[in-house]
Amino acid sequence: MAEQSTDLKAIMRRDERHRKMLNDPDLTGDLLLFALGLDEVIATRQAQGRKTSGKSWMTAITRLVSGDEGYRRYWAKHVVERDVPRYEPSKSRGRGCIAPMIRREGLCGQPGSTHVLDLDPMTGEGAEGYLCARHRGLEAKYLALKRQWHANGEPSPSANTGGVLRRYFNADWDGIYRWASPWREPLEGGREATPPRPTLRLIQGEGEVSS
């Protein structure tokens, strides 16, 4: 991204990047707004021949997309924090009790109220689940798995979420992620890219959009 923004190739690349960003299902809401703001701030500063430096980006982006950096002072930080590449245990599908049955195959399945994390103490891979009132006593088993995981030095699988901004911008992301979330070490990798949305085509004169 060293080219001047007046360079036609750079403009075309930028247009292509905007289209990719807008069609990336993982890049939505505030994260998309942030990415478009970042792209614009970089382009503006390149055109002005100014150096881009760490935290002043954040103020510039917030000012650009919200119109008032004071009003949403921590907005940019929170957006980046939510994009830290990290591992998250698989979410529970419903609230069915995950206690294994003894006399029959499968899980209990009764409505659960006690939230537990079924953690592999060797790898750190985990899945959220629930226990029903009758099986609440099994909670101790899951807490013991967690203690063992701590004792093993808290091993972590590679990231399965976050890291979407890294797809589009070359920057010292490890440094930026650590700034936004000092207590959490950014992991390698990140979420696998979801296939892009179907391309939308604007039908001229018809006033409708079709896929």
Q: Of 41, 80, 99, 138, which lies in the binding site for Zn ion, with binding defined by CB under 5 A?
A: 99
Identity of the residue, 75 or 130, whose beta carbon is nearer to Zn ion in the bound complex: 130
Report if residue 98 touches Zn ion, rule: CB under 5 A.
Answer: no
Identity of the residue, 27 or 97, whose beta carbon is nearer to Zn ion in the bound complex: 97
Report if residue 130 touches Zn ion, rule: CB under 5 A.
Answer: no
Question: Which H or E run contains 22?
Answer: helix 8-22
Q: Of 97, 116, 165, 187, which lies in the binding site for Zn ion, with binding defined by CB under 5 A?
A: 97
Q: Of 44, 66, 92, 110, which lies in the binding site for Zn ion, with binding defined by CB under 5 A?
A: 110
Nearest-angstrom CA–CA distance, 159 and 190: 5
Beta strands in the chain (DSSP E): 114-119, 126-131, 201-203, 208-210
Span 8-47, contacts to Zn ion by CB under 5 A: none
**Chain center to CA of 77:** 13
39-47, 72-80, 97-105, 191-199 -> range binding Zn ion (CB under 5 A): 97-105
Nearest-angstrom CA–CA distance, 67 and 88: 34
Query: 70-75 long-range contacts, Cβ below 8 Å, gap at least 24?
Result: 75/30
Joined tokens for residue 169: 């911008």
Which residues bind to Zn ion, rule: CB under 5 A?
97, 99, 108, 110, 132, 135
